[in-house]
A and B are shown apart, each in its own frame.
Chain A
Amino acid sequence: MIVRILGEGRYDVPDADLPAIEQLDAQLMDALERVDEAEFSGTLADIIGQVRHTGTHLPPDDLRPSELVVPHEGSTLAEVRDLLAQGT
């Protein structure tokens, strides 16, 4: 599955590695809802680390769309909350 990290680019992550990332994603949402800044930034860093580690970085001329999007590295909880609010 193609995962985009905002401000960084896209990675092709093997399906076998997705469950771990999805679990972190759920943790991230949980931290967002509980407004737990420390947990949030730690989990975001973990997700970004996992995607980079397990995925293959795609060249810029590969134009396939992504299915999952990870916030910018170093994003604050408030920034991501504002981003998500754009979709509602």
Chain B
Amino acid sequence: MSVMKRLSGIVQAKANKALDKAENPADMLDLTYEKQLENLQKVRRALADVATARKRLELQATQLQAQAQKLQDQAKQALGQGQEDLAREALARRATLAEQLESLGTQHQQVEQQQQQLETTASRLQAQVDAFRTKKETLKASYTASKAQASIGEAVSGISESMTDAGMTLDRAQDKIAQMQARAGAIDELLDTGALPDALGGGGDDIQKQLDATSRAGQVDTELAALKAQIGAGAESPSLPAGSAEGGDGPAPAAGAPAGGNS
């Protein structure tokens, strides 16, 4: 069995159904023209929606990319501090982001295709509207003169088939837009709730807190060592040059203390 023949049958049935409403051929022409204009409006609106969906995807991709880069940097920083577990956590989150990014890429391709199909549909409809506007007056005149019902029927059913195609393209685009919006909403939520810490929020995430705490602790250790060295130089061993005795092995790691939350 053929897909193309079955689909043709479905399109014809839809097109005929759309035609059943008008009885008088002249009315039918006007009605068809009205419908064409309506259809064109709908396609234009959908086109605007697709453009919005596309921009939103692009914005999210940028945010996710920035976040992935940040996690990469954090992993490096954590390793530098000797916190391998934290580095591992940052990389694991980065992998999740990479998955999201990949699927955003696929969606972006789809949305581009929708946009292209809608643009084609819009310009085709526009050309048809223009052509049909003059044609319908000619047909009306010939109908009243003789009875060219057959040619009216043919013209109208041709238009109707084309409008059915436009309607189906529109439905498909709207489904895709809805799916994309739902998905974009889910990603926004994820970015908001901090499951994927907001790339633009800056510094507020837990990995960063741990890194900051560790580097603060390191700084405290350094200062402590410097102080010890000063005191040591002043009180105990005047014969030794200041700081050289204790300064070297001073920064003892203050382990455990800065561990914030284990999630």
Q: Which residues of A contact B (CB under 8 A)?
A: 3-4, 6-9, 21-22, 25-26, 28-29, 32, 47, 59-75, 79-80, 83-84, 86-87
Q: Which residues of B contact A (CB under 8 A)?
A: 1-13, 110, 113, 117-118, 120-121, 124-125, 127-128, 131-132, 135, 154-155, 157-159, 161-162, 165, 168-169, 172
Contact indicator B131/A69 (Cβ below 8 Å): no
Give 26 pairs: A residue, B residue, CB < 8 Å, sorted on A.
A4-B161, A4-B165, A6-B7, A7-B168, A7-B169, A25-B2, A25-B3, A26-B2, A28-B3, A60-B124, A61-B131, A61-B132, A61-B135, A63-B154, A63-B155, A63-B158, A63-B162, A64-B154, A68-B2, A68-B5, A68-B7, A68-B8, A69-B7, A72-B172, A86-B10, A87-B10
Contact indicator A67/B8 (Cβ below 8 Å): yes
Chain A residues with CB under 8 Å of B155's CB are: 63
Chain B residues with CB under 8 Å of A62's CB are: 158
Contact indicator B11/A69 (Cβ below 8 Å): yes
Contact indicator A7/B157 (Cβ below 8 Å): no
Task: Find the A residue at minimum CB distance from B110.
Answer: A74
Say which residue of B7, B8, B9, B113 sits within 8 Å of A74 (CB atoms).
B113
Task: Find the B residue at minimum CB distance from A81.
Answer: B3
Contact indicator A80/B161 (Cβ below 8 Å): no
- In the assembled complex, the Cα of A11 lies from the Cα of B65 at a distance in Å of 43
Chain A residues with CB under 8 Å of B132's CB are: 61
- In the assembled complex, the Cα of A32 lies from the Cα of B168 at a distance in Å of 20
Contact indicator B127/A61 (Cβ below 8 Å): yes
Contact indicator A73/B158 (Cβ below 8 Å): no
